[in-house]
Amino acid sequence: MKTIQYTVDLGVLGEIDLQVEYNYSPMVPGRYSGPPEDCYPDEPPEVEILRVRCDSLLISGPMEILLASALDDDESFLEAVESIEQDD
């Protein structure tokens, strides 16, 4: 489990600075050569959001669902996480 500082844009609600605790699974390359029964597609990278905090306060309930959904839909969040993971 790691934590990232991230700013998410909530549209008319404005931007909010978050601390996001997550687990990361990197992309697993597929196999495309050899017998068909041994082939499989790429598995994309995956970020599992564990906790979301704002100003050290744990966010829960509907607001947690809203923020987790916004982060899941935000390609730059995945890029930020991948950047951190590649540096390790």
Q: What is the pLDDT of residues 52-87, one digit of tens each?
A: 998 888 998 898 888 888 888 888 898 999 988 887
Q: What is the pTM of this model?
A: 0.76
pLDDT at 88 over 70: no
* Two tokens, residue 26: 């990197």
Q: Residues 47, 51, 56, 57: is their CA dihedral positive or negative?
A: positive
CA distances from residue 25 to 2, 47, 74, 80, 84 in whole angstroms, order as listed: 12, 6, 17, 14, 13
Distance CA 67, CA 28 (A): 27
